[in-house]
Chain A
């Protein structure tokens, strides 16, 4: 029987360290860039040669996002930056709502597939194919459909769309968690008098709570960053954060500072959540094909 590799059997050599440092520099430079740009004053944004360290910290870039005050007085025709709180709220509503529905669907589907072989052998391919198609392909008929049933540009419409697109992910992830719980537990509960339904929800489910939470965060990350659906299915009544960032580009042209600030704000929750579920990321990203 082979012995599994132990993490950290050997100490890192010099070559390794050089690679690590180079890697860190490459990974972090763009991150540093966006943070530093978000703190630059107007005259420094597009300076050439680019200034790496802003001489003064322009916190007002962050402030104007929420107050929209026109601190760019010298630029005619620009009344200030768009106020961003609305888009954050919209993103939160659609993100949380979409995640909740997606998890609900995924939960039932996962139980059905792993415990009852719902859908037979066709199901896995079916789910996977839902992930293969570029979203634009499904968006086109959705635009038509939504216009007809008046779901265009509504929170509900976006929530449903998000749920549809992320249910394959949540189904597969929850499936992999359910399958870690041996069937015997449910069976012995049923012998003791529980119905099948009860045995699922009172025995297996509590054991999967950690996995469910991780799935929830994972799906939320997907929904929060989602751009194409929001772009196509909303016309201004709803504005999610990604669309807002894009609007910044067109609206402000070259207002790099506040734009970068919005980017930083948008990304912080993602990084926090993602680091929290780091353990489960591999599972979610590879559809449970690889379990760490």
Chain B
């Protein structure tokens, strides 16, 4: 009996968390009841919010794509034997373990007009480049995407390489005997077999990328104006900086429902792990 209670407790705690997620609307207790309908209508008319949502999906999409490609590349390269493999693997994983704030601060410095990135690119192309990365909307987004790719490509690499190692060798050996080229083997045999794990990795990474906040906060603070705002950034600005808790509660609720609607079907492959 006690056992059952103890086991039930964490379940209740989880409900508490989600319940507090449903609490929005009680932002300003006394006012909320009357303003609630208006808040919701205002949410749908809020262009800045929807721009932020679209922008977030854009950043997440491009970044995850980049990470997928790099991760796949790395996984294929690491499927061969070579000296120092273990150490090099560990080194490759390092960017993933940096705290987001530190990554943000680091890349903030590097993306300055007089900073490392401009210098290195300029040195490689022979000209002097002075792109003000973080002061413009377009390049700001690019900078955020590059930062995310640097930080999280190791994630894809890690997952995909465990997938590559688990591939059955027979079809591959058979194809080699029949004279297939590297590229053909990759495209026709390995890639389809990796599909499941790729989906899992992409869904998880995309899920996390939508929440992007730390690097945006440190590097651009939303960008010139509101040009690089992600939806977390926007929600933060209205709730904590502007203190409009009532409205931000409505925003939060809408975001929550939206994401749940979109992601729940996408998450099925992960649940299929039995």
Chain A residues close to B by CB (< 8 Å): 2-13, 16-17, 19-20, 23-24, 26-31, 33-34, 37, 46, 48-50, 105-106, 108-109, 111-112, 116, 118-119, 123-145, 164-165, 167-168, 171, 196-197, 221, 224-225, 227-228, 231-232, 241-242, 245-246, 248-249, 256, 259-260, 263, 266-267, 270-271, 274-275, 278, 281-282, 285-290, 292
For residues 199 through 214 of chain B, which have their beta carbon under 8 Å from a beta carbon of chain A? 200-201, 204, 207, 210-211, 213-214
Query: Which A-B residue pairs are the 8 nearest by beta carbons?
Result: A8-B81, A2-B168, A12-B82, A112-B7, A109-B10, A48-B114, A225-B99, A141-B23
Q: Decide if the interface of chain B is mainly helix, strand, loop or mixed.
A: helix
Please give, as numbers and ranges, the residues of chain B lying within 8 Å of A123 by CB-CB distance. 11
Interface of chain A, main secondary structure: helix
| Known contacts A8-B85, A27-B91, A136-B235, A145 near B106 by CB under 8 Å | no
The residues in B between 59 and 118 inclusive whose CB is less than 8 angstroms from any CB of A are 73-74, 77, 79-82, 85, 88, 90-103, 105-110, 112, 114-116
Check: B155 CB closer than 8 A to any chain A CB.
yes
| In the bound complex, CA of A282 to CA of B163 (Å) | 10
Inter-subunit contact B107/A30 (CB<8 Å) = yes
Please tell me which stretch of B37-45, B137-145, B258-266 contacts chain A, meaning at least 4 of its Cβ atoms lie within 8 angstroms of it.
Answer: B258-266
Residues of the A chain whose Cβ atoms lie less than 8 Å from the Cβ of B14: 109, 126-127, 130, 164, 167-168
B106 contacts A282, C-beta separation under 8 Å: no
Say whether A50 contacts B6, CB under 8 Å: no
Sample of 11 A–B contacts (CB below 8 Å): A4-B168, A108-B10, A112-B8, A125-B264, A132-B267, A134-B210, A141-B252, A165-B17, A196-B3, A249-B218, A286-B159
In angstroms, Cα B18 to Cα A159, docked, is: 17
A248 to B: closest C-beta gap in Å: 8
Cβ of B125 under 8 Å from chain A: no
Whether the Cβ atoms of B7 and A139 lie closer than 8 Å is no
Among B10, B102, B159, B168, which residue has its beta carbon within 8 angstroms of that of A285? B159
Q: Residues of A contacting B115 with CB < 8 Å?
A: 50
A287 contacts across to B, CB distance below 8 A: 204, 270
- The reply to whether the CB of B256 lies closer than 8 angstroms to some CB of chain A is yes
Q: Which of B93, B94, B172, B207 contacts A132 (CB 8 A)?
A: B207
Smallest distance from the beta carbon of B270 to chain A beta carbons, Å? 5
User: Within 8 Å CB of A259, what residues of B?
Assistant: 105
Instruction: Assess the A135–B80 pair: CB atoms within 8 A.
Output: no
Q: Which residues of B contact A (CB under 8 A)?
A: 2-3, 6-11, 13-14, 16-18, 20-21, 23-24, 26-27, 73-74, 77, 79-82, 85, 88, 90-103, 105-110, 112, 114-116, 119-120, 150, 154-155, 158-159, 162-172, 197, 200-201, 204, 207, 210-211, 213-214, 217-218, 231-232, 235-236, 239-240, 245, 248-249, 252-253, 255-256, 259-260, 263-264, 267, 269-271, 273
- A144 is contacted by which of B26, B165, B232 (Cβ under 8 Å)? B26
A129-B264, A134-B255 given; A30·B82 CB < 8 A = no
Chain B residue at minimum C-beta to C-beta distance from A224: B99
B159, A282: Cβ atoms under 8 Å?
yes
- Chain A residues whose CB sits within 8 angstroms of the CB of B164 once the complex forms: 5
Contact of A105 (CB < 8 Å), options: B10, B73, B101, B171:
B10
Known pairs A5-B164, A136-B213, A164-B17. 6 more at Cβ < 8 A? Answer: A108-B10, A131-B207, A232-B239, A245-B102, A267-B99, A289-B273
Most buried by A among B21, B120, B169: B21
Collect the chain A residues with CB atoms within 8 Å of residue B200's CB.
Answer: 286, 289-290
Residues of A within 8 A of B249 (CB): 140-141
Report the minimal beta-carbon distance from B115 to chain A, rounded to whole angstroms. Answer: 6
On whether the beta carbons of B163 and A290 are closer than 8 Å, the reply is yes
A34 partner, pick from B7, B101, B106, B245, beta carbons under 8 A? B106
Contact B21 A137 (CB under 8 A): yes
Select A228's contact among B79, B103, B197, B213, beta carbons within 8 Å.
B213
B270 touches A289 (CB 8 A): yes
Residue in A5, A116, A134, A228 whose beta carbon sits within 8 Å of that of B168 in the complex:
A5
Contacts of B23 in A (CB 8 A): 141, 144-145
Smallest Cβ-Cβ distance to B234: which chain A residue: A136
Q: Determine how close the nearest CB of chain B comes to the CB of A235; give it in whole angstroms.
A: 10
- Whether the Cβ atoms of A136 and B239 lie closer than 8 Å is yes
When distances are taken between beta carbons in the complex, the residues of chain B under 8 Å from A263 are 99, 101-102, 105-106
CB–CB B255/A118 < 8 A: no
Contact of A108 among B9, B100, B116 (CB under 8 A): B9
Complex formed: what's the CA distance from A7 to B252 in Å?
47
A7 engages B27 (CB within 8 Å): no
Q: Are B214 and A19 in contact (CB under 8 A)?
A: no
Chain A proximity of B122: nearest CB distance (Å): 8
Contact of B170 with A227 in the complex, beta carbons under 8 Å: no
Contact check: which of A9, A270, A289 meets B81 at CB < 8 Å?
Answer: A9
